[in-house]
Structure 1
Amino acid sequence: MPNGQVKSVEIQIAPDDLETLKTNGYQLCFAKKVNDTYNVVWQSADKYLVDNTFSWQPLYQLFGSNEFSGDVKVHVSTNRVPIGLGDESVLDSSGVLGEASSGGPATGITLVNDYGAIHPGLCAFSTNLDGSSSTSPIYVAEKAIVTGSDLLTPVECVQVWFEQKIATSTMFSTARSNAVEIDLTEANSATRLYSGGKWTTPKVSSLFVDTKAIVTIIAALTAAVSVQQLLAKITSKLTGVYQDIQVDVKAAGGTSVSIVYSEKPLLSAVRLNQARLLLQNSTTVDQLAGFALEAFAQLQAGYVSLTATAAA
């Protein structure tokens, strides 16, 4: 995966399941595959909702630990060093990791061990459900290595599951109950739905639909305006509940403009439903027309006539 490449998973939870999970104290958990295994809780979240996005980039830190023990949190015993795929770091005889340098297979991270018995480990960067970012452990070798070298190979697969009373950075050595594996080695994003206690992959047609025009405004202005400036002014107002609505502005000739509001493309089923709920509110057309009028005023152009038509 090229440096900087973002991978993301969208986890949708049916409302009835969400209520059951929250009532019984379940965490939404993520783990990342390293050396063909999952053994550390990358992130454990209790503030999950119907629609959740977890993403990451290939930004790693190498460390060493004195132990691997299931059901306890990772203890980072050495210093951490930023490192990338195709790099290596030397753990010297004093137990200090040196700065990373090129070396080892391009698909992995190499620890050169001059210290003695140590459990190599990796941390990885993620953007969490609440939008915050963190770098936390994703792997600790279950068996210590002695002098020599060890290769740690992150794989773009994540495991997702629900579990009670488990925290971020907890090590585990047994299979997690009712977990789903999501393989992103050949894709950058994926969506899974948890409904009725089961994991499924929603059909594409239920996730993404073609954009649909929702409001069309035709206005004759008192002065000519820049289409780009008008577009920028209106777009800046499409925040909050209107964040999933986009606008297209065209010059209809002279001082006439056409403004079309529509749903953004590639919305999840949940966000699409939210956008369409806005259309059931009688004030939505007035508000979108108001955004256009505010933009006219900011560009010092009044209007001679204006029609705003909602899609059927």
Structure 2
Amino acid sequence: MSDDQYSLKVYISDESLTALKEYGYRLCIAKEVNGKYNVVFQGVSKLLFQNTFQFEDYYRVFGTNKFADGALIDASTKKYPIMGGQKITLSSAGVFSPTSGSVNPEAGFTVHNQYIEPIHFGVDAFVGNEYSSIYVAEKPVLSGDVFLTPKKKFLVWFEQDLETDMMISRAITNSIRLDFTNASDITINYTAPKDAPAKGVWSYGPLVVLGQTYHPETNTFSLTPAILPTAELVQLTKLLQLEPPSQRGGHLAITNGGCSGQELNRWFRARLRAYRILYGIGQLVQVTSRFDRSLDK
């Protein structure tokens, strides 16, 4: 993988995958430009348990006559390749000149706009083996310089009635924000109740695929996701704020979210003990006992 490439893996639990497809949800990805996420970079319905997206920092710039929420982008000019740090000119006739300037992947790029009619500037980026749009300025501009700064930051969520290259101007709910500034690979996963597929939980890391086998050599059981209390786990995740894995250790950092340390301690300890009573077997007992001891520290 080159320095310009970075990869996202999205895991979806089986129950969630079935419900999401039944209700017509797409996995939506948006990329930040000028501090906004206003175009569906990818709107994917052909989803599986593991879904991989490969990004590269190659861009194209274009002009369009309108920005409209829920509409597909319709470029009004030719789309011209450009890289970070470079400059390009749109003439008074609406024609792009060749780019100039040295490439700086960490920087944005500049459009010298000589076109005297109102126009919205947009940006494409490379994903997989093709370009897809990531941004359109919501307000038109007249002649003058326009600065466009794509970032290695993404918004990921599930939604109906959205598709690739569609413009959006409203807030997105139940999403996860990802930052590739100092990372080349990020893995996330999604689990939701079957009757509310868009109200699930996003987490970092792959989904754990659990069996249902007793291991006599270690006196442990592997449990299936079906026997775990989904509502409790959703509530727990809301109470906990999971930070992305660190560059050093690769472990998730766990902090208490909207509750005090004592409140989280009592809530978590009570549920750990309840789980031991319900499933008081092998590995779960060992894990919860270790967590109990960590709560006392």
TM over 0.5: yes
Pairing 1:157–2:153 present: yes
Superposed CA deviations along residues 264-289 of structure 1, whole A, max 9, x for unmatched, are: xxxxxxxxxxxxxxxxxxxxxxxxxx
Aligned to 1:53: 52
Query: Aligned partner of 2:50: which letter?
Result: D
Aligned to 1:114: 114
Superposed CA deviations along residues 115-138 of structure 1, whole A, max 9, x for unmatched, are: 0221111001101xxxxx221111
Aligned residues: 200
Pairing 1:137–2:133 present: yes
Query: Aligned partner of 1:66: which letter?
Result: N
Does the 8 Å CA contact 2:11/2:206 hold for their aligned counterparts?
Answer: no
DSSP-derived class of the 1:173 partner: coil
Report how far residue 59 of structure 1 moved: 0.8
Does the 8 Å CA contact 1:11/1:52 hold for their aligned counterparts?
Answer: yes
Following TM superposition, where does structure 1 have runs of at least 4 consecutive aligned residues deviating by more than 2 angstroms?
Answer: 103-106
Q: TM-score under structure 1 normalisation? A: 0.61
Pairing 1:28–2:27 present: yes
Pairing 1:98–2:94 present: no
Does the 8 Å CA contact 2:61/2:122 hold for their aligned counterparts?
Answer: yes
1-structure distance, mates of 2:98, 2:158: 37
Report how far residue 3 of structure 1 moved: 7.5
Query: Aligned partner of 2:171: which letter?
Result: A
Give the strand-richer structure, 1 or 2: 1
Does the 8 Å CA contact 1:103/1:110 hold for their aligned counterparts?
Answer: no
Report how far residue 4 of structure 1 moved: 5.2
2-structure distance, mates of 1:11, 1:3: 21
Aligned to 1:190: 186
Identical positions, percent: 38
Shift of the 6–139 alpha-carbon distance from structure 1 to 2, 3 Å rule, reads same
Query: Aligned partner of 1:56: which letter?
Result: F
Does the 8 Å CA contact 2:83/2:103 hold for their aligned counterparts?
Answer: no
Task: Tell me which structure has the larger Cα radius of gyration.
Answer: 1
1-structure distance, mates of 2:144, 2:190: 44
Report how far residue 198 of structure 1 moved: 0.9
Does the 8 Å CA contact 1:74/1:170 hold for their aligned counterparts?
Answer: yes
Does the 8 Å CA contact 1:88/1:104 hold for their aligned counterparts?
Answer: no
Report how far residue 177 of structure 1 moved: 2.5
Q: What is the 5 A alignment of 1:5-44?
A: 5-44=4-43
Query: Aligned partner of 2:130: which letter?
Result: S
Q: TM-score under structure 2 normalisation? A: 0.64
